[in-house]
Chains A and B, each alone.
Chain A
């Protein structure tokens, strides 16, 4: 079985500060990992994904994530937060041979001026 844990249901950052959202996964097979963002009253939008090509993955809006197998982690970072980054972020894992996408509980990001 696969699962995802996101540490911290809420994160508050100042505009211009580093954004760090933590994600740890468990999977019995080499995983495919994803980060999605959900803006208020909208659906989920793919930020980036890890599919074993490179451990450091770059996504949209200057977000990036690093896959660390030894730590079973896939943390999301952005060097400088913008007000427009205020949203909820979901980490998700999908098994190599399966099709189910399993989500973490989500982290809501608040950006302070």
Chain B
């Protein structure tokens, strides 16, 4: 089954404790992206990757890191989480051929709480 898999689904952590949220897709998609969803703000892009070893900042990158060493994986790293990073996070992937005609496939989300 074609899918984007995120782990964990739920995570409660303390301020300053480094964490990684994993994301993996099995569709051979070039493009991957991380979003955070907050009430009233919709989804905002954190980082994206056009292909292996190619990443760039989205709209709200502060406090986050990403890497793309393999095509299928795109982990999100919070080096020193803070309470304002409490949010619902989504990983997404899509084909990328220079057009915008492809929609994203989303993971099920990771609900992160930083106390």
Contact = CB atoms under 8 A, between A and B. Distances in A.
Interface residues of B, number: 27
A99 B50 contact: yes
A43 B107 contact: yes
A95 B100 contact: yes
Interface stretch (A13-21, A44-52, A69-77, A78-86): A44-52
Nearest to A47: B103
B109 A97 contact: no
Interface string A31-62: 11010100000111110010100000000000
Contacts of A104: 42
Contact of A44 (B41, B58, B90, B100): B90
A83 B1 CA distance: 28
A96 B106 CA distance: 21
Nearest to A32: B100
Contacts, number: 64
Interface string B101-115: 101111111000000
A104 to B, nearest CB: 6
Given A42-B108, A44-B90, A97 B42 contact: no
A103 B58 contact: no
Nearest to A29: B100
A32 B101 contact: yes
A66 B35 CA distance: 27
Contact of A46 (B90, B99, B103): B103
Contacts of B94: 99
Contacts of A90: 42-43
A106 B35 CA distance: 14
Nearest to B91: A43
Given A44-B90, A99-B50, 11 more contacts: A31-B100, A42-B109, A44-B104, A46-B104, A51-B101, A90-B43, A100-B45, A101-B45, A101-B92, A102-B45, A103-B42
10 contacts: A32-B99, A32-B100, A32-B101, A43-B90, A43-B106, A44-B106, A46-B105, A100-B58, A101-B92, A105-B41
